[in-house]
Structure 1
Amino acid sequence: MRLSRLTLHLSTALLLASGGTLHLAHAAATVAVSPATPLTIGESFSIDSQALKEKRHINVYMARAWDTPPDAPLPVLYMPDGGVAEDFLHVAGLLQVSVANGTMRPFMLVGMQNTQRRRDLTGPTDNADDRKIAPVVSGAPAYRAFIRDELVPEIKRRYRTTGETAIVGESLAGLFVVETYLLEPQLFDHYLAFDPSLWWNRGALPRQAAALLAKGAPGKHSLYLATSAEVGIASEVQRLSEVLEKQSPPGLQWHVEKMPEETHGTIYHPAALKAFRAVFKPQAPAAQ
């Protein structure tokens, strides 16, 4: 008798469990699944560049504070390595959080997506080791012409800007930033270079710095350099800083941030955080 009752209880339990499972499965099947939609951050457009003889893709993000009027003009930060799969997203996020927490003023980020990165960001070299990593080099003059003559005017045409400009880059993009300052200091107001590859062409750019600085016209600019523990980079940045100590042009505010706790692969984000707070800090309210 006890065995038959136990069998009955088990049968009933299995039947109820089966029925409950079927009921849940039926309910799940009838729930409408919300379709996924693209997540849009900023804007994108292309330029058919005459300087580069190719189409270039540009990404734009507006980092505004909650009380920044939507039509207020913004200063512009230009960035090589600016593709979505490159540095655009993490730098845009850093700008937004910095603007939101009040450690920097609102800015527009303009990212330039790469096609042939090592071509565009380098000058000439007679070093065989350089040519191993960059078979095509010396594209920096054409890339600078693209920025100066095509991209900057297009940004001014499309958006409301304040006239204040900056450029930021890391590694070979940092090399391009430093070279641009030494060759065309009037192109931007602020130059930010993190772990710049100043070893390029056996350190030719730091060796030429004194002569290039002597040719440059004085003007109000800032140059922010940051270095990790990368030996070949830190030593060349030190050489450049020694030149700046002796003959820094009038009006130039420059700074070297040594970050030995960082590597070449980790320096971008922490260096950018420090640089943005130092160079783009909010303006003090006018005295009443």
Structure 2
Amino acid sequence: MSRAGLAFACLAMALTGPVSAQSPAPQPLTIGETVTLEALGQSRAVNIVLPPDYANDPDKRWPVVYQLDGALGQDLMMGAGLMRWGALWGRSADAIVVGIETKDRQRELLPPTGDAAEQKRYPTAGESTAFRAWLAGTVKPMVEARYRTDGRAFLVGESAAGYFVVETWAEMPRLFTGYAAISPSLQWDFEALSRRAFGEGQRPPLYLSLADEGGATETGMMRLLGALSPSQPYCFSDRRTELHHATALHGLLPEALQYLLPTKADWLEEYGMVLRCEQRGGAR
């Protein structure tokens, strides 16, 4: 080794050696808690992320946002991060986030279909009723018993999970306080969900959005919107020319939370945090 190379090596050792020796050991980074439960014959994680101030005020109670496809390797980190970001800006109120892991999304989130092509492509689909019963009878009671909730509970999901959100709003509207269905797969079963009669009774608030899906997904959404009563509180965010199906969830979840968990912040429009409802109903 040349004299210059030896000098450089000694200098590198001098700079890095002591730092490495004095570097503190890394500690675990904990963002929440997880409970393993069984549904439809499969174990799955239910992940709970508490607001940062949860431990500081033992008398305070919190709303809960139930996020479908909420495993650590699914959408949990994005959902919890967007919740935290919205609360920091005052765009939406803070809440407990409960991420529900899905294992076979079509099986758990969709009802049976009469479409032969869908049956062939997704042969396990069709058990959304059983999955919803598990949420209602096992997950919600567990969360409400273990954590300081304030009685408000919101269900959010995208794509097939968005379909599950709308179907839950239609079949068990009082199960949750509000619903957000981002780009729901309303093409399922020949758009059957959009053809249902929802009646005149007012249901909880419903946030709906559409990206560039087109086809039967779009016609299903338009039919659903046409079936909603004018007194029904809802917000439809039309992003067909701006978002793709792949960008809809992280693009619109902050807006959905703003609709479901509004604050009194008066600076949001100045910073571009606008709640866009191309169509809306009810006095919300």
Interval of TM-score (by shorter of Structure 1 and Structure 2)? 0.7 to 0.9
Question: Cα distance 1:66–1:181, how it changes in 2: closer, same or farther (>3 A)?
Answer: closer
Question: Cα distance 1:70–1:263, how it changes in 2: closer, same or farther (>3 A)?
Answer: farther
Q: Can you list the C-alpha shifts for 1:130-159, whole angstroms capped at 9, x where unaligned?
A: 123312011101100000001000001110
How far residue 67 of structure 1 moved from its aligned partner, in angstroms, is 11
Structure 1 distance, partners of 2:55, 2:136, is: 32
Among 199, 205, 219, the alignment partner of 1:222 is 205
Q: What's the TM-score, normalizing by structure 2?
A: 0.84
Tell me the residue number matched to 1:275: 256
3-state secondary structure, aligned to 1:267 = helix
Matched AA of 2:13: A
Q: Can you list the C-alpha shifts for 1:171-224, whole angstroms capped at 9, x where unaligned?
A: 00000000111111111110100100010011111112x1xx13x8x4551011
Tell me the residue number matched to 2:222: 238
8 Å CA contact 1:195–1:234 kept in 2: the answer is: no
Among 21, 28, 49, the alignment partner of 1:38 is 28
Structure 1 distance, partners of 2:31, 2:66, is: 17
* 1:59 paired to 2:59: no
Matched AA of 2:102: N
Structure 1 distance, partners of 2:119, 2:213, is: 21
Tell me the residue number matched to 1:5: none
Structure 1 distance, partners of 2:226, 2:56, is: 41
8 Å CA contact 2:65–2:156 kept in 1: the answer is: yes
Sequence identity percentage: 30
Query: What is the RMSD of the two structures over their aligned residues, measured on CA atoms?
Result: 2.4
3-state secondary structure, aligned to 1:63 = coil
8 Å CA contact 1:66–1:100 kept in 2: the answer is: no
Q: 1:196-211 counterparts in 2 under 5 A?
A: 196-208=184-196, 210=197
Structure 2 distance, partners of 1:275, 1:20, is: 57
3-state secondary structure, aligned to 2:259 = helix
3-state secondary structure, aligned to 2:67 = strand
* 1:258 paired to 2:238: yes
Q: Can you list the C-alpha shifts for 1:43-95, whole angstroms capped at 9, x where unaligned?
A: 1111244xx23323101112356997355211111111001111110010000
Tell me the residue number matched to 2:276: none
8 Å CA contact 1:189–1:222 kept in 2: the answer is: yes
Q: Any gaps of 5 or more consecutive residues in structure 1? A: 1-10
Q: What's the TM-score, normalizing by structure 1?
A: 0.83
Tell me the residue number matched to 2:90: 102
How far residue 27 of structure 1 moved from its aligned partner, in angstroms, is 5.5
Matched AA of 2:254: L
3-state secondary structure, aligned to 2:99 = strand
Runs of at least 4 residues off by over 4 Å: 64-68
Q: Any gaps of 5 or more consecutive residues in structure 2? A: 266-284
8 Å CA contact 1:230–1:264 kept in 2: the answer is: yes
Structure 1 distance, partners of 2:127, 2:156, is: 18
8 Å CA contact 1:43–1:61 kept in 2: the answer is: yes
Matched AA of 1:242: G
Structure 2 distance, partners of 1:143, 1:150, is: 10
